Chains A and B, each alone.
Chain A
Amino acid sequence: MLRHASACYPRECCGILLGAIAEDDTRTVTTAVPCANAYQGDQSDRFELDPKDQFEAQRLARTQNLEVLGFFHSHPDCDAYFSATDLANSWPWYSNIVISVRQGAYDHARAFRANETQSESHPEELQCPQS
């Protein structure tokens, strides 16, 4: 995930998080699938996932008895916040990791989840043993 974020700099990277949900609702990411940024325009501050990549990730998750937990993307030379654009183009339930990359190097990351109406997002803790 972090390698993908650095490799894509100064463009935003994106990818898909697979993992498991424990009985106490703790989410553990076990696989981060790097994807191409499909946004048709300036990718320095925008990303879009190709639905085909998500379709394949859903299939991979089913075969491994995992769940698509959410998505990750980077903010080149910006903080790791969940922007209005992120919120408007997200879905409830999914976890979203935002990675701050400064001058091509990892700086920090945070995870967020949108509420049911996508009117606001909240920080969340995710377990990512291999990020």
Chain B
Amino acid sequence: MPTVLIPAPLRPHAGGNASIDASGVTVAEVLAALTSTHPALKQHLFNDEGKLRSFVNIYLNDEDIRYLNKQDTAVAASDTLTIVPSIAGGAQ
């Protein structure tokens, strides 16, 4: 079963876990399984239209899924998904 690595800010919404195994053969399916088990994660990962929030990045092993097939990217049981928050800012 694929493993999802959870960044620290989201762990309170994921039962305190740093990693969670979730079933699925695409990124979308794995994230759906993850948010089904931990519903509080959903609002942090997806917008009201059900799309992945712009400031949430998902890596499949070493690759950003934006440069693969996005949420339709195929996932194997041995794969790892990493949730990476976008960070920006500035003085103005």
B63-92 near A? 1/0 per residue, CB < 8 Å: 010000000000000000010111111111
Which stretch from B5-13, B22-30, B31-39 is at the chain A interface?
B5-13
- Which one, B62, B64, B84, B88, contacts A89 given CB within 8 A? B88
Question: Which of A52, A54, A75, A83 is the one whose CB lies under 8 Å from B87?
Answer: A54
Whole-angstrom CA separation of A12 from B92 in the bound complex: 11
In the bound complex, do residue B8 and residue A93 qualify as a contact, i.e. CB atoms below 8 Å apart?
yes
Residue of B nearest to A87 (CB): B89
Bound CA–CA A58/B5 (angstroms): 10
The residues of B that contact A9 with a CB separation of less than 8 Å are none
* B87 and A90 within 8 A (CB): yes
Give the secondary structure class of A's interface: mixed
A contact residues, range: 20 to 34
**A56-95: which have CB < 8 Å to B?**
58, 67-68, 71, 73, 75-76, 78, 83, 85-94
Do A75 and B82 touch (CB < 8 A)? Answer: no
With A68-B8, A94-B8 in contact, do A58 and B84 touch (Cβ < 8 Å)? yes
> When the two chains form their complex, are residues B89 and A86 in contact, meaning their CB atoms are under 8 A apart?
yes
- On whether the beta carbons of A83 and B59 are closer than 8 Å, the reply is no
Complex Cα spacing A6 to B48, Å: 42
| Pick from A58, A67, A73: contact of B89, CB under 8 Å | A73
| A88: B residues at CB distance < 8 A | 89
Asked if A36 is an interface residue, CB under 8 A from chain B, the answer is no
Among B82, B86, B87, B91, the residue within 8 A (CB) of A76 is: B91
Q: When the two chains form their complex, are residues B8 and A45 in contact, meaning their CB atoms are under 8 A apart?
A: no
Give 6 new A-B contacts, CB below 8 A, not counting A46-B90, A55-B57, A78-B91.
A46-B89, A54-B87, A55-B84, A85-B88, A89-B87, A93-B9
Interface on A for B, CB 8 Å cutoff?
12, 14, 39, 45-49, 51-52, 54-55, 58, 67-68, 71, 73, 75-76, 78, 83, 85-94, 96
